[in-house]
Amino acid sequence: MAKKEADSRKKTGTPIIPLEDRIIKSEYSELMQKSYIDYAMSVIVARALPDIRDGLKPVQRRTLYSMSELGLRSDRPHRKSARIVGDTMGKYHPHGDSSIYDALVVMAQDFKKEVPLVDGHGNFGNIEGDGAAAMRYTEARLEKITEEAFLSDLDKGVVDFVPNFDETEKEPSVLPVRIPNFLINGSEGIAVGMATATPPHNLAEAIDAQIAYMKDPEISLDQLMRYLKGPDFPTGGIVINQDDLKEIYETGQGRVRIRGRVEVEKGRAGHINLVITEIPYTMVGSGIGKFLSDVAALAENKLTGDIIDITNQSSKEGIRIVIELKKDADVENFKALLYKKTRLEDTFGVNMLAIVDGRPETLGLKQILKCGADFQYEIATRKYTALLEREMKKKEIQEGLIKAVDLIDLIIEILRGSRDRAMAKRCLVEGDVTGIRFRSPESSIMAGQLRFTEAQANAILDMRLYRLIGLELEALIKEHEETLANIYRYEDILERRSSMTEVIKGELLSWKKTFGRKRRTEITNAEEAVYVVKKEETVRKVVCLIDHSGYAKVMDASAAGRNKEAIEEAYRFRIPARSDGRIALFTREGQMHILKVQDLPSGRLRDKGVPIDNLSGFDSSSEHLLYACCLEAVAGRKLLFVTKGAMIKLVEGSEFDTIRKTIQATKVGEGDSLLHIGLYEDTKTIVLQSEKGMFLKFEASSIPVQKKTAMGARGMKLAEGDCLEAVHLPADTDTAPVHTHGKEVDIFRMKMNKRGEKGTKKL
């Protein structure tokens, strides 16, 4: 094969390039990096994140457009979901039927969407987590608001159309959505390396905020929040951290704390019924079943003795979960227990991330409204430019027809005297009378003066005789007057920004009037729930468990003992404590966060727990958990601190007994971080190991006891570019060698040195 190629190149005179010069060499890591970045951007832009302009992900946009193309209007019969999914997948979205059907289902669920975009017929799932029926059983069509505010004017070129995946069809790059849908329906999605989570908002409030911004782009965030007060979840509930909302809307990130709505009713035999009528938005789905089991666990784990019975009486009419309590139950204290130990109070993590000009960007409220306003002006400009062009064409034809009616006898004479349509058209457009037979020379002279346009000539030639009736002529003149009025209006809209703003404002207000409704979610500030442990419920031995993902929970000590091996395998920290105790979380950055045991949910072995971020000041995005212990166990003892820079000290445990949630546990130098924190067990020796294989063994008694605000003393003199890798605390009877870097190091026989020296090379 190579010989044939060489002979061919010799015949054609093409120079022969050596094989090694034709091989494209590439660094494997660079190739992998580029491929991964391309994949990540594809997922980010083409699948997981919504576009800021229409607030829709590609699968949602394509599904709605496909339904529009199928003619599934709100006033027409429903069509099988399987047909919609098949059409969408075959023409626009070749990523599998399940993703399309899931998107269709969610757009039809009024407990997930503030404004449902699809009218579903059949079993489309429920708020308790039951899934929708298979697509072959359900039917769907567009909601009225989707037709009017999402899909109208596509025929006017208001958005660009792009080829589909196989370039056999055209699809809109974005839908001409006329309401701030990104805010109204929110969005949740996980891409590669980033995620979006925008809470839903009230349609009327979002429209008011959009109008306020369009009137005054310099409006302050405080003024905007008079219109848009905060999230409005379809499930209702109560947002209890109103003061935090300004920062969330300023940065586009933060946490919204939501509580379910609880009412108190009189029960049977004088008992008290605690009735939950609204749940946090985060409980939609399987969260209700988890809540019921968590409430049952409160009684099983003896956290409360007030519960008699719990029933889920929810129906299509709404949520109704009834917890029957004893006659003498402290209702407020029990509500606080529910807020602390269950998801009746939960956190919605806000990250308003969207695609802006083809790139992912986290946006604040003003930026979102600015993008929305710019898009509305763009749509209106393209729409009224198209309408103006249509009206100008109509005007041209109408003027030609009106003129033709006045010259109808001459035109009839031209038509009768012409051999074909082309001859008559030349006469009408150019005044060319060659070959046309006229009854009189005067008619020929008049015909030679005609100068109709191409469009007018075609309209005249296509005109039917009934248009010569007097009433028809009057209607034509009236239609012409309306056309002139439209042209004047469209030119005014396009030339004056204020006129366009008024038009957009009018459309927004009409949708607000038609589709707006009252707010469901209450916005307020509430104090943190405090549960007071009753005397008969005190001093319960538990084990606090924290896994590698930072999720925490408590288990009864006896249950934890029975599952010791499984717990040791699955959890990073296993901390014996009391039910009224506190857990200290120490980070590499030198901070200590306090976590109350009573704030942690009780759970079984396989239950996930809750993120420690939600219950303490710990921030997993910027901090790294290094050590956790029971604060009560530290009293009367010392903690050993060692940094990577070889700074070392002991601190009295009493210094960490504080009522504050977060304190500085130790001072850490610039560029340094903590390597080891632990209870000091009165060991006689300590061995420090550096990354470059240096070991230093010295007496533990030489470690100074200092305040928590001190940086510590030098534990080992490090070479340039070196840092500590490990801390060994051998017991007096420990003679086993240390296994590190595939070697054994006998620290038992290692020579004793003084603290602060360089140490000995062992690796």
Give the DSSP H/E element, type plus range, for residue 348: strand 345-351
CB environment 151-160: b (16+ within 10 A), e (fewer): bbbbebebbe
CB 544 within 8 A of CB 579: no
Closest CA to 760 of 702, 719, 713, 704: 719
* Cα–Cα distance measured from residue 265 to residue 322, given in angstroms and rounded to the nearest whole number: 9
The dihedral through the CA atoms of 281, 286, 292, 296 has a sign that is: negative
Phi, psi of 77 (to 5 degrees): -65, 155
CB 294 within 8 A of CB 340: no
C-alpha distances in Å from residue 238, one per residue of 286, 317, 545, 600: 20, 20, 30, 21
The dihedral through the CA atoms of 235, 240, 246, 252 has a sign that is: negative
* Cα–Cα distance measured from residue 475 to residue 471, given in angstroms and rounded to the nearest whole number: 6
Beta 647-652 vs 713-714: how paired, if at all?
antiparallel
Contacts for 2-7 with beta carbons within 8 Å, 24 or more apart? none
* Cα–Cα distance measured from residue 684 to residue 699, given in angstroms and rounded to the nearest whole number: 6
* Cα–Cα distance measured from residue 354 to residue 213, given in angstroms and rounded to the nearest whole number: 20
Give the DSSP H/E element, type plus range, for residue 700: none
Catalytic residue, candidates 137, 213, 227, 249 = 137
Spell out the residues 6+ positions from residue 44 whose beta carbon is closer than 8 angstroms to its own: 191, 192, 194, 355, 360
CB environment 183-219: b (16+ within 10 A), e (fewer): bbbbbbbebeebebbbbbbbbbbbbbbbbbbbeeeeb
DSSP assignment string, 430-456:
H---TT---SSHHHHHHHHT----HHH
Q: Take residue 625 and report the two structure tokens written for it.
A: 């958990």
* Cα–Cα distance measured from residue 644 to residue 676, given in angstroms and rounded to the nearest whole number: 8
Q: Identify whether 551 is a catalytic site residue.
A: no
Give me the active site residues, please: 137
